[in-house]
Amino acid sequence: MKKLISTVLSVIFLLSILHISAFALTFSDADYGDTNLNAALERLTDSGIIMGDDTGTFRPFDELINSEMAVILARADGYKPYTAAEQNGSYADTAVNHLYELGILASNTNTFNQSEKVKFIDYITATVKLIDYKNGLDISTAKTPEEYLTNAYELGLLSLIPDYEPEQFITRRDASVVIDLAMGLKLTNNETMYLLLIDGNINNHPVVSSAPVPTANPESQNAFAYNMNSKMDKSKNYMFSPLSVKTALAMAANGADGETKAEILDTLKIKDLNEFNAATKALIEKYSGGFDYARYNELSDKLNNGDYSDAEFEEYKKLSNELRNGKSVEFNIANSIWLNKDYYAGSDAAFSPDFEAIVKDSYYGTSETVNNDDAVERINGWTSEKTNGKIPTIIEDSGFLAELINAVYFKAPWQYEFMTENTAKSVFNNADGTRTETDFMNDRGYYDTYADENVQIVELPYKGNKTSMYISMDNGGNIDYDNYLSKLSSNYINLSIPKFKIEYDEKIGSTNGDCLLKQLGINTAFNQNTADFKNMFINLPLGANVFVNEVIHKTFINVDERGTEAAAVTSIGMAGSALPPEPVDFTIDKPFTFIIMDNQSGDILFMGRYQAVPAE
């Protein structure tokens, strides 16, 4: 009688997002103890009017120079894209000429000394002229400096600068506060310059014509992920981990041979299994270890209470630097293989030494031996530990010869926070044509986006920009996302995205009937007569054969203002003998695909689709 061999691969995905304000990330010298300046800079940096210098500092008490004034006023007018590379050089030239053409500056680049320091009265004059221009007034009529100063006083532009001398040079601090007050003034059309700037960016959001949606390139490194996504059931919400499934099947391929091995590798788009094993080893090494949040929080409390030593202060600075530079992203991969000695009672069945060596060396896996009495408790305990309790169980009984378990843990803070006070009810247009009101998170700032008539994509980076979530409103087909992601560009948008939760449980492989993995090309592995996994074990009873019985994939993801928490389990069973309110610029209110990608390697870690707001 043929025996049952159960090989379970559990892949765990946990993503906890911590929120860090966009302003705090803008300048390394951001804590000025000046609430008026801090508030002004938050609005100005969010609007792209001020970006600091190349070193990431603002230096509020430095004196402003002409090129900086020109850039600030041109940006306030909504002129040109706002990127950090355009703070000087040719952009300053175009800014000067733009303001000269409007009549705000009296000179163009031929006579305008860009390196000269700006007097307080000259900055006030140019700012008032910009306001008059926005109000549709004739600014060609000359006024005296005293008249511009009086106008500024009447408009409230000097309310936060009690002591000033018109002929003194203006500081970056005072220039920022003045332009912020100017941007918030209600104009004759009842708009503010902040609102006009946002409207301008909405109207100029890049939407381009496009050919039919390109399908996934079969030679792409993410071809397997895109192919798998194209086969998923689009009638419901789902999330899967291509990294998990690929790693699981690749581990199995190391114990396979012949047509079974060839089908697995071809489906996974792995041309050289030895190279993939080496790449997997490098990936695990790259992300091994995580950020010590417990110690960081402990030291933060000590500093706040003033109870710390010099050594603790130095340790806190080291951890803070790691947090700023992306160490806060945790992505750990754990593997283990388990042999049930009671399955073939009295036999010497074991993992092949070669297979066991590959798992240990390339996948950093551990090899464990269990029996019928302790198998369930020990394996579920390992799974729960590696997933922080999010996936407490993966097996229900000990009726297996072997378990191969892979756990993936991911935790990362958003680069920019979603403030809970900005969350508001809005309508999501479900895939079936119904409309459901749900909570939408909102943020305003610079995001990399792309849009045409087929897709609208936005990147939500995690801290350090090494990994990102990409959200794409599209038809959910076999889309070549690599083609679109290469076209993303920075745009100032109002982002609105629903809070969402997905729980997914699906059998993606089975010996009986059709299944997703069979559709992708893995067939022989599910055939009890032709499957070839003889390289995985030694000393099997005479006549015993190993084949894949089923592949179960379970996932969970929850995205809200506090962050995202998710888990995934893939189970492979083998038989034989895991600013202003109402932002509207970039609203994700239709079914969307989401991708979590390692931006350095280009590999997709997790992928899913949100089709509808689930019924409560």
CATH fold label, 234-301+327-400+501-578: Antithrombin; Chain I, domain 2 (3.30.497)
The answer to whether the beta carbons of residues 68 and 96 sit under 8 Å apart is no
The answer to whether the beta carbons of residues 540 and 349 sit under 8 Å apart is yes
Instruction: Say if residue 592 is exposed, middle or buried (CB neighbours under 10 Å; 0-12, 13-18, 19+).
Output: buried
Instruction: Name the packing angle between helices 293-305 and 310-324 (round to 10°).
Output: 130
Which band of pLDDT confidence, cut at 50, 70 and 90, is reported for residue 140? confident
* Closest C-alpha among 415, 443, 420, 433 to residue 586: 443
Which band of pLDDT confidence, cut at 50, 70 and 90, is reported for residue 7? very low
pLDDT beyond 70 at 83? no
- Count the Cβ atoms, other than its own, within 10 Å of residue 92: 22
The answer to whether the beta carbons of residues 398 and 369 sit under 8 Å apart is no
pLDDT beyond 70 at 290? no
Higher pLDDT, 17 or 190: 190
| pTM for the predicted model, two decimal places | 0.62
Bridge-based pairing of strands 435-452 and 456-461 is antiparallel
Residue pLDDT, tens place only, 19-69: 223 333 356 665 556 777 887 887 888 777 887 655 667 888 889 998 889
Cα gap 58→41, rounded to integer Å: 10
Chain-centroid distance, C-alpha 420:
19
* Closest C-alpha among 459, 357, 362, 382 to residue 416: 459
What ranges make up the beta strands (E) of 108-161?
Answer: none
Return phi, psi of residue 340, to 5°: -90, 105
pLDDT of residue 241: 87
Q: Distances from the Cα of 10 to the Cαs of 148, 336, 571, in angstroms?
A: 70, 10, 6
pLDDT of residue 261: 96
Please give the structure tokens belonging to residue 293: 């949040």
Residues 381-394, mean pLDDT to the nearest whole number:
79
Residue pLDDT, tens place only, 391-447: 787 788 887 777 777 777 777 777 777 888 889 999 999 988 899 999 999 987 778
The answer to whether the beta carbons of residues 479 and 455 sit under 8 Å apart is yes
pLDDT of residue 609: 94
What ranges make up the beta strands (E) of 45-148?
Answer: none
pLDDT of residue 12: 33
pLDDT beyond 90 at 121? yes
* Closest C-alpha among 595, 468, 594, 566 to residue 11: 566
Give the highest mean pLDDT range of 22-31, 116-125, 473-482.
116-125
pLDDT of residue 33: 66
Residues facing residue 471 across a β-bridge: 458, 594
Cα gap 89→87, rounded to integer Å: 7
State the residue for tokens 């009447």: 154
Cα gap 490→451, rounded to integer Å: 12
* Closest C-alpha among 246, 508, 290, 502 to residue 409: 290
- List all residues 6 or more positions away from 316 whose beta carbon is below 8 Å from its beta carbon: 296, 299, 300, 302, 303, 308
- List all residues 6 or more positions away from 239 whose beta carbon is below 8 Å from its beta carbon: 502, 504, 555, 556, 557, 566, 568, 594, 606, 607, 608, 609
Q: How many CA atoms lie within 13 A of 18 on its CB side?
A: 16
pLDDT of residue 368: 92
Percent of the chain at pLDDT exceeding 90: 25
Weakest-pLDDT range from 216-220, 227-231, 306-310, 375-379: 216-220
Helix, strand and coil content of the chain, in percent to the nearest 5, comes to 35, 25, 45
Bridge-based pairing of strands 238-240 and 366-370 is unpaired
* Closest C-alpha among 161, 393, 390, 355 to residue 252: 355
pLDDT of residue 187: 82
Weakest-pLDDT range from 15-29, 254-268, 386-400, 527-541: 15-29
List the helix and strand counts (H, then E) for the chain.
Answer: 18, 18
Cα gap 235→257, rounded to integer Å: 37
Residues facing residue 480 across a β-bridge: none
* Closest C-alpha among 122, 37, 114, 127 to residue 74: 127
Instruction: Assign 3-class secondary structure to 451-469.
Output: EECCCEEEEEEECCCCEEE
Q: Where in the chain is the domain with CATH 3.30.497.10?
A: 234-301+327-400+501-578
Cα gap 506→231, rounded to integer Å: 12
Please give the structure tokens belonging to residue 583: 């932002």
Higher pLDDT, 120 or 600: 120
* Closest C-alpha among 589, 430, 412 to residue 494: 589
Return phi, psi of residue 107, to 5°: -135, 155
Higher pLDDT, 86 or 164: 164
Mean pLDDT of the chain: 79
pLDDT beyond 90 at 212? no
Residue pLDDT, tens place only, 297-318: 788 778 777 788 888 888 877 7
Cα gap 23→27, rounded to integer Å: 7
Cα gap 578→219, rounded to integer Å: 26
Which band of pLDDT confidence, cut at 50, 70 and 90, is reported for residue 491? confident
- Which amino acid is located at 51 in the chain? M
pLDDT of residue 259: 96
Angle at 160 between CA 157 and CA 165, to 5 degrees: 80
Cα gap 176→72, rounded to integer Å: 9
The answer to whether the beta carbons of residues 322 and 464 sit under 8 Å apart is no
Q: How far apart, in Å, do the first and last CA atoms of the chain sit?
A: 48
